[in-house]
Structure 1
Amino acid sequence: MIEIERTTPLSSVQDSGRFGALHYGVGTAGAMDPLALRLGNALLGNHPDDAVIEVPLFPFRVRFHRAGVFALSGGDGQATLNGRPVPPWWVARASAGEVLTLNASRFSARSYLHLPGGVDVPRVLGSRSTQLRGEFGGWQGRGLSAGDRLNACSPDYRGASDFGIPSPRLALQADSLLVPQIRVLPAAEYPLFTPESVQRFWRQQWRITPQSNRYGYRLEGDGLVAKEPIEMRSHGIIPGVIQVTHSGQPIIQMRDAQPSGGYPKLGTVIDADMWLLGQVPVGSQVRFVEVDLARAQEAQQVQQRWLDDLCYQIDRYRRSAG
């Protein structure tokens, strides 16, 4: 069992998300960094979809009320266990009474705390993810608070510990560590904007504003200009869709996005880059790179092969060292 000692209501229990319920008006929710979810679970030998604690604001502090193993993923900030450093992307063992503290990073927006077998919360509509707007799923349908106590599904785990992996950004995005480059597919209303403003969209760096959250990332830059006023009925949208407001400033729909909206769609972030976008800190800059469907599919296949191979290597090590 762990007890939350310091957090904000934006920390929550998440898994890969809630799918198949959009027609009920229920969004997907789920981890903002799905790559961290998968790799952190692999470090503990968990199922890829096991629930974790997502931490977007720091410091975050938990106390272990019984000895156990945990893993950290996602963030590259400093972590300590009773004052001892714990590397990022690492499996460690805590004794009863020890306190784990996670701190912020300049380069990553959120960290994940993994427990053996996942965080023990019930499934709602097929997922353990917290739906913050609907107030269901996760831990009592809300963000975490000081005093909350959560259990691991497999608290008696005795596998390997004190090992880890390099940050995936070193392997997948080494050429854009300072300014993340996010690949985008043009969407339905792309031709309705002037060529000059569209070119600015690709050339300039966009700032993630403080109004950004799990619902959407609001961008700040030289706005887009429509060829003529665009009036649209509300229609279905999904995470990754880039809509353009009347002011010309884009909004990227994120994991807690509502299932419908009426703003025109300029593009869609490809699936292979949603993890990277989810780790861009508020106030940071991003750039967008245009790709076609073939390149988007190739990027997803390359990433999946890399991910499957790394998870295989992790599993081999765990079995040999456990």
Structure 2
Amino acid sequence: MNSITVLKPGAQTQLQDEGRYGWQRFGVPVGGAMDLWSHRVANLLAGNAADEATLEILLTGPSLRFEAAACIALCGADLSAQVGDEPLPMYERIQLPAGAQLDFGRRVNGLRCYLAVRGGFAVPPVMGSRSTFVRGGFGGFQGRALRKGDVLPIGAGQPAELPPAVLPEDISVPVPLAAAQAVTPVRMVPGEHAALFAPEVHALMAQATYQLSPQSDRMGYRLEGPALPRLPGGELISEGVSFGTVQVPPDGQPIVLMAERQSAGGYPKIAHVASVDLPLLAQMAPRQALRFVPVTLAQAQALHLERERQLQALRPLLLGPPGAPT
């Protein structure tokens, strides 16, 4: 049987894809991979379509037995993956024999590792997505994180083996993971409610250091640092929010909304994290520090387009020219 048996589940291992779009008006969050860049590159290395699910592995990895030969890729956080005594490389195409047991050990850097397997995971989509939404109890594998004894079916119809592939050195693909003691710069653009904050508050936000609170999750990252008071005024009408929206609640401590954000919010939106830095933010652990760096919308868009150009440049290198068999 082409499947993976879960021998040990790890701290929080879930199936995630690019998200569940089109349902926010019904209160269903988009969800999907927190570090979408590492997820997408892992799928490319495994020879998968962009919408295949990967395993998002948080901090403490699982132990997995591959019941059949498989082609996999690991991207994102380095959690010391190994088969037996052999360490496995990151950002490479890896062939595993039938019966191989994949284990994870010490965290080297980052927070979330993405495991893609050739053929994807054969779980039924819910509302057009295979992403796990634990709070709602649906999607992914039975709507929950993995448990000991689970058997994950692998998609059929794709040969397990692909030619070896290593990312070229002249393309900067891995997300630059933040060092544990560093203050990581995170770029932001002004939000819709920037005018509700005095100029000195914006200056403070750009100079201050914030730490990620342990009360952070896939819905939002709470930050601890200097408060950002808003100007006196009435209440706001709730409106749509996005991945990376920086809201300021009454206590002045900013919250960055993440993959499982709510559909709408009534707190003022002082800023938005530039999309190019969302994977970096998703790989930061509680108590790590960051500093917001203001950029213009045009700069943020240029950074996003350059990142997408890199992804497009990788496709023919890893999968061959359009129409080539994979």
Q: TM-score, normalised by structure 2?
A: 0.90
State the partner residue of 2:301.
297
Secondary structure in 2 aligned to 1:146? coil
After TM superposition, give the deviation of residue 227 of structure 1 in Å.
2.0
State the partner residue of 2:30.
28
State the partner residue of 1:245.
249
Aligned-residue CA RMSD in angstroms?
A: 2.6
Contact 2:173/2:310, CA 8 A, preserved across alignment: no
Amino acid at match of 1:109: L
State the partner residue of 2:231.
227
Contact 1:11/1:57, CA 8 A, preserved across alignment: no
Q: 1:175 to 1:78 in 2, by over 3 A?
A: closer
Equivalent in 265, 279, 282 of residue 261 of structure 1: 265
State the partner residue of 2:160.
158
State the partner residue of 1:124.
126
After TM superposition, give the deviation of residue 257 of structure 1 in Å.
1.0
Contact 2:38/2:114, CA 8 A, preserved across alignment: yes
Structure 2 residue 189 is the aligned partner of structure 1 residue 206: no
| Segment of structure 1 superposing worse, 230-239 or 179-188 | 230-239
The whole-number CA distance in structure 2 between the counterparts of 1:175 and 1:139 is 28
The whole-number CA distance in structure 1 between the counterparts of 2:199 and 2:253 is 16
The whole-number CA distance in structure 2 between the counterparts of 1:175 and 1:109 is 9
Secondary structure in 2 aligned to 1:150? strand
Gaps of 5+ in 1: none
Residue pairs, 1:66-77, within 5 angstroms = 66-77=68-79
After TM superposition, give the deviation of residue 103 of structure 1 in Å.
3.3
State the partner residue of 1:191.
195
Matched positions, count: 321
Q: TM-score, normalised by structure 1?
A: 0.91
After TM superposition, give the deviation of residue 146 of structure 1 in Å.
1.4
Structure 2 residue 117 is the aligned partner of structure 1 residue 115: yes
After TM superposition, give the deviation of residue 229 of structure 1 in Å.
5.2
Amino acid at match of 2:224: E
The whole-number CA distance in structure 2 between the counterparts of 1:272 and 1:253 is 15
State the partner residue of 1:105.
107
Gaps of 5+ in 2: none
Contact 2:220/2:261, CA 8 A, preserved across alignment: yes
State the partner residue of 2:317.
313
| Segment of structure 1 superposing worse, 2-11 or 51-60 | 2-11
Alpha-carbon deviations, 1:153-197, whole Å to 9, x = none? 137523336543379995577697644322211112212123222
After TM superposition, give the deviation of residue 205 of structure 1 in Å.
2.1
State the partner residue of 2:222.
218
Q: 1:168 to 1:78 in 2, by over 3 A?
A: farther
Q: 1:76 to 1:164 in 2, by over 3 A?
A: farther
Q: 1:223 to 1:252 in 2, by over 3 A?
A: same
The whole-number CA distance in structure 1 between the counterparts of 2:20 and 2:160 is 30
Amino acid at match of 1:91: R
Structure 2 residue 290 is the aligned partner of structure 1 residue 286: yes
After TM superposition, give the deviation of residue 242 of structure 1 in Å.
0.6
Contact 1:107/1:280, CA 8 A, preserved across alignment: no
The whole-number CA distance in structure 2 between the counterparts of 1:194 and 1:235 is 22
After TM superposition, give the deviation of residue 209 of structure 1 in Å.
1.3
Contact 2:8/2:62, CA 8 A, preserved across alignment: yes
Structure 2 residue 135 is the aligned partner of structure 1 residue 133: yes
State the partner residue of 2:146.
144
